[in-house]
Amino acid sequence: MATRKFGILGWAEKRARRNHRSRKAISTIMANLTMLVIVVSLSSLLFVWSISSFGAYTGGAGYWFSSRSIANQERPSV
Which three-class secondary structure string do you get for the chain? CCCCCCHHHHHHHHHHHHCCCCCCCCCHHHHHHHHHHHHHHHHHHHHHHHHHHHHHHHHHHHHHHHHHHHHHHHCCCC
- As a whole number, the mean pLDDT across the chain is 73
How do residues 9-44 score in pLDDT, each as one tens digit?
Answer: 666 677 666 666 666 677 899 999 999 999 999 999
Rounded Cα–Cα distance for residues 32 and 37 (Å): 9
Domains of the chain by residue range: 8-43
Say which DSSP state 19 is in. T
Report the percentage of the chain scoring pLDDT > 90: 24
pLDDT band at 73 (very low <50, low <70, confident <90, very high): low
pLDDT higher for 42 or 63? 42
How do residues 40-58 score in pLDDT, each as one tens digit?
Answer: 999 999 998 888 777 666 6
